[in-house]
Amino acid sequence: MGDIHELGAVALREALATGQLSAVEATGHFLARIAKHNHALGAFVTVTADQAMLDARTADATYVRQQREGAELPLLHGVPLAFKDLTDVAGVATTHGSAALDRKSAPEDGVLAATLKGAGAISLGKTQVPEFGLTAYSENRIAPPSRNPHALSRSSGGSSGGSAAAVAAGLIPFAPGSDGGGSIRIPAAACGLLGLKPGRGLVPAGESVGDAAHLVVAGPLARSAADAALMMDALVPREYQPERGYLAAIGEAPAALRIGVSLDSPWSTTFPFTPEQEALDALDTGVELLTDAGHSVFDAEIRYDNRYPEAFTAAWTAGVGSARILPQREALLTPLTRTFRRRAQQRSAAKVNEAIGFLRQFTHDTVAQYGQWDLVLTPSLAQTPRPVGWFTGQDLGGKQWPAPDWPGDADDDYRKQCEFAPWSSMVNVCGLPAITLPVHWTGPTPGTGLPMGIQLIGKPGSELLLLQLAAQLEAPGKTADKLL
């Protein structure tokens, strides 16, 4: 067995379940890696080393007892992971990435943490997020920005950016993320990982306070389809899983599929954009891989209602308007959060309801168009991972955090995000499952430079199909991670 961090989550789980590794050994190894690399990476905001080692010792005692009694171990027995700092973990402060909030320890685990800890996983801490999870980059005023393991001057994306950086760098084997407008898929694509956004309602751990349009779902960030399938087995109630579970069925090749490929975006009329050549190269690689695997790819022209950007923004930012923030602490918010909060508070409830009503009709129209194909294919991102500080106008690529101020214009920031990730949010609105896969690299040889990926959007209930297709396209012997 090689270094522990080189094992995938499935292999690590097997080593723990068979006694080749103890939970204390695995937990101690990953904590040591965090201590060594996190100062440069900024992936973790809080490391709960003492509690993690206590939980590991408890897991090892459970292993001995259950081996003696012949009982079955929990699915994720002793597997280390971490939660993004929007998720409540008992006894740990949930900062929501905001300097405007008091740092109070959560009294109990949130649903996502309770689900995975109940399956035997060991939490190592909390990972970096943007303020209130609003942006496609993980930078805030409370801790250093999360950086991309493939190039530390680049962002790891957002809002699950710290988790993606930690997985790609081998600080944890896999991680749960949450996705309300691309927050799993964007950082997965930026860091060269697989990111799966399940369909609405499948995972009972993705709810978000103030999410009036029901956009947010939880799902895995992983280095392989099998690792993502293992986490889905832990996240999805058994009665809603495939008959044999996700991991057991991951190796079954899907039947030949009809896939529509599109560059159309509902953001195009408000924020016209031109995909970078690297994004188009990734799409071309994706088409080639799918065709070689026996699937048929067709050009797809999708028409989106040009009222979408205003309606989505109203629904997406409604929650920050109702967040409990003391008036004297409003100045501690980032410019983008402060601007969206003010506008949300000025927007009437009737306007929000009107926006949500429009999004329901948008869903009906869009899903009907997607229905012409088994899957819809887009690039994951329209641009390569952006430099740290690029969205906000800060030059943090090589500078010490924190910057003396937080410059930049909120509307320019938002425009840049929508042009960077123009194919993400409509999937949340439609409640559909989608997966992003790394298929292309900007360097001279595979696995060098920056990763670029493709997104596959499925029909309701197609999570297993997406994972099976991802497994089919994975290059043998190649990993997308950047193990430091």
Positions annotated as catalytic residues are 84, 159, 183
Q: Are 449 and 443 in contact (CB under 8 A)?
A: yes
Tokens of 320: 């920050």
- Specify burial of residue 32 (Cβ count, 10 A radius: 0-12, 13-18, 19+): middle
CA angle (217, 218, 219) in 5-degree steps: 125
Instruction: Give kind and range of the element (H or E) at residue 247.
Output: helix 246-249
Instruction: Say which residues have a Cβ less than 8 Å from residue 50's Cβ, sequence separation at least 6.
Output: none
Q: 3-class SS at 388?
A: coil
Residue 127 pairs in a beta bridge with 44, 84
Q: Which residue has the tokens 């529509």?
A: 260
Q: Are 54 and 31 in contact (CB under 8 A)?
A: no
Q: How far is CA 248 from CA 49, 398, 462, 465, in A?
A: 33, 45, 16, 13
Q: How far apart are CA 70 and CA 63, in angstroms?
A: 10
Q: How far apart are CA 325 and CA 337, in angstroms?
A: 12
Q: Distance between alpha carbon 147 and the CA centroid of its chain, in Å?
A: 15
Instruction: Give kind and range of the element (H or E) at residue 152.
Output: strand 151-155
For residue 185, report the phi and psi dihedrals to the nearest 5 degrees: -70, -35
Spatial strand order of the sheet with 122-127 comes to 44-47, 122-127, 80-84
Q: How far apart are CA 138 and CA 156, in angstroms?
A: 7
Q: Which residue has the tokens 């939660």?
A: 83
Tokens of 49: 């080393």
> For 39-54, b where at least 16 C-beta lie within 10 A, e where not — what string?
eebbbbbbbbeebbbe
Tokens of 356: 């949500």
SS (H, E, C) 109-175: CCHHHHHHHHCCCEEEEEECCCHHHCCCCCCCCCCCCCEECCEEEEECCCCCHHHHHHHHCCCCCCE
Tokens of 180: 């309300």
Q: Which residue has the tokens 């990734």?
A: 282
Instruction: Give kind and range of the element (H or E) at residue 216.
Output: none
Q: How far apart are CA 356 and CA 362, in angstroms?
A: 10
Q: How far apart are CA 278 and CA 269, in angstroms?
A: 23
Largest alpha-carbon pair distance within the chain? 65
